Chain A
């Protein structure tokens, strides 16, 4: 046996446990979802093949609304995360005393169990006793209490804010690392030529951050599109379905109403959207790196 061949066999032996594990826990369920979506699986003992019926049922007005809402929700959540994250990273990147501590203080929302952070926000959103409504009233900005989670429009934004809050630490630390990876000589050269701080930020930092921005937006997009805990704990998709995103809708259909088949069809749609995002991402990054080589 050649060295080459034994090396390859060794590599596969190393990979085998992880590959097997992911095949059973992720790949098989993925295939199973796809198959289930063409059946009327439920709590009943028998399961019948129903063809496209589940998909036909999905495409009605309510579901179109859910899809639209999911996209709007995700769009705002990701954009705000990126803006606050870049802002935070820029601030934390400044060479000022105390920055090590400030960086550390950025982490809690991400490290603490999500459910706990969400409970805290749930209390803050409380209309009569919560901090936000209370402080706004004390300052005279709003008259009378607002129960943020009880009204559709405010609940929509309230869930976004909480999602942003949980996502911001990771974006910030990632963008901070990306900023620190920019060679210092670039700044020094520009500085020697008399470029001011804002000019250096706009002409050096921002352009060089673009690849990291795209990567982070992509990761954030996937996580946000799949965001479940926040909406489920805060509103369970209510009031009147105003915070029902695709993932919440899938959970309600599949686990709540035990309609596994219909739920699976919804899950398949989510997978399709996610795959489109990933495909678009790879197209953009490969074009970017091709541009760099020229």
Chain B
């Protein structure tokens, strides 16, 4: 062990306290997933029985197969979620990369105010602006299409994307731009050939967080601006398991886990970027 680790040496009771603390904390975070997973393994008849039993008897993965038959459109919902999130992410990046560069590099009258205005967009998330947004989507003629869910989604993901990417770009040494500029490169050329390649890790982080945000938060617009089954994203599509008589809970949970799977894969593949990227923009202040 290296020298400074001495300060971090714990006595046994401190270690026990820390692990107990972590256990309690993670138990709260993960309990619903554990319960949800167990529910997905129980046969429906056993599910509706008292007294409560935590461990399932005759557990099976049957619900993971029957769920596709009960709600035939389910694969479509997952596709829709992916499709909407991908387009949203692409549009956000196209809008945010130049804007973040402008905020990171150029000081002009009103730039601070404009940045503040962008961040203020976060204040009016979704539900408050629902009525005029509904009217706006109607006048664009995009109600009950993908666009009705994509367009508002983009707007509310722009602020944090700008903030994150701007922070990242401010860390790129200014000398690089100046050197390119002195060599006769145009502003646009500098952005495309000098800044973009260096900012790629930052852009990746923004792309990931935007995608996750888009994937996780598709509810209110999908609920309000779209009533066509074939365009529904996962969160709204899952309501299909709420039958007329009763909720098919085990299939609902199985379907939820199938729907979560892509997000979990993304987390595990990109965890390094995630933690550092999320917090990079945050702490600088």
Residue of A21, A110, A274 near B154 (CB, 8 A) is A21
The answer to whether A113 touches B132, judged by C-beta atoms less than 8 angstroms apart, is: no
In the bound assembly, the distance between CA atoms of A12 and B103 in angstroms comes to: 10
The answer to whether A129 touches B47, judged by C-beta atoms less than 8 angstroms apart, is: yes
A194 within 8 Å of B by Cβ? no
The answer to whether A108 touches B126, judged by C-beta atoms less than 8 angstroms apart, is: no
Residue of B95, B105, B128 near A247 (CB, 8 A) is B128
B197 within 8 Å of A by Cβ? no
Residue of A102, A111, A128 near B216 (CB, 8 A) is A111
Given known pairs A8-B106, A123-B39, the reply for A116 and B235 (CB within 8 Å) is yes
B212 within 8 Å of A by Cβ? yes
The answer to whether B216 touches A22, judged by C-beta atoms less than 8 angstroms apart, is: no
In the bound assembly, the distance between CA atoms of A117 and B218 in angstroms comes to: 13
B252 to chain A: which residues have CB within 8 Å?
A: 119
In the bound assembly, the distance between CA atoms of A92 and B18 in angstroms comes to: 9
Min C-beta distance of B165 to chain A, whole Å: 11
The answer to whether B235 touches A91, judged by C-beta atoms less than 8 angstroms apart, is: no
Chain A binding surface, main DSSP class: helix
In the bound assembly, the distance between CA atoms of A250 and B126 in angstroms comes to: 12
Q: Which of A74-131 contact B (CB under 8 A)?
A: 84, 87-88, 90-92, 94-96, 102-117, 119-121, 123-124, 128-131
Residue of A84, A107, A145 near B267 (CB, 8 A) is A107
Given known pairs A116-B259, A254-B130, the reply for A187 and B283 (CB within 8 Å) is no
In the bound assembly, the distance between CA atoms of A226 and B50 in angstroms comes to: 37
How many residues of chain A get a CB closer than 8 Å to chain B's CBs?
Answer: 101
Min C-beta distance of A80 to chain B, whole Å: 11
A215 within 8 Å of B by Cβ? yes
B285 within 8 Å of A by Cβ? yes
Given known pairs A120-B35, A138-B51, A177-B282, the reply for A91 and B21 (CB within 8 Å) is yes
In the bound assembly, the distance between CA atoms of A289 and B278 in angstroms comes to: 24
B263 to chain A: which residues have CB within 8 Å?
A: 111-113
The answer to whether B131 touches A260, judged by C-beta atoms less than 8 angstroms apart, is: yes
Q: Which of B15-70 contact A (CB under 8 A)?
A: 15, 18-19, 21-22, 25-26, 28-33, 35-36, 39, 47-54
Residue of A84, A92, A255 near B22 (CB, 8 A) is A92
The answer to whether A168 touches B29, judged by C-beta atoms less than 8 angstroms apart, is: yes
User: What are 27 A-to-B residue pairs whose CB atoms are below 8 Å?
Assistant: A15-B114, A17-B98, A21-B95, A21-B155, A25-B152, A26-B156, A29-B136, A33-B132, A88-B25, A92-B22, A104-B267, A106-B25, A109-B32, A112-B260, A119-B253, A120-B253, A123-B35, A128-B48, A131-B31, A138-B52, A165-B32, A168-B28, A173-B275, A188-B7, A197-B14, A222-B123, A250-B130
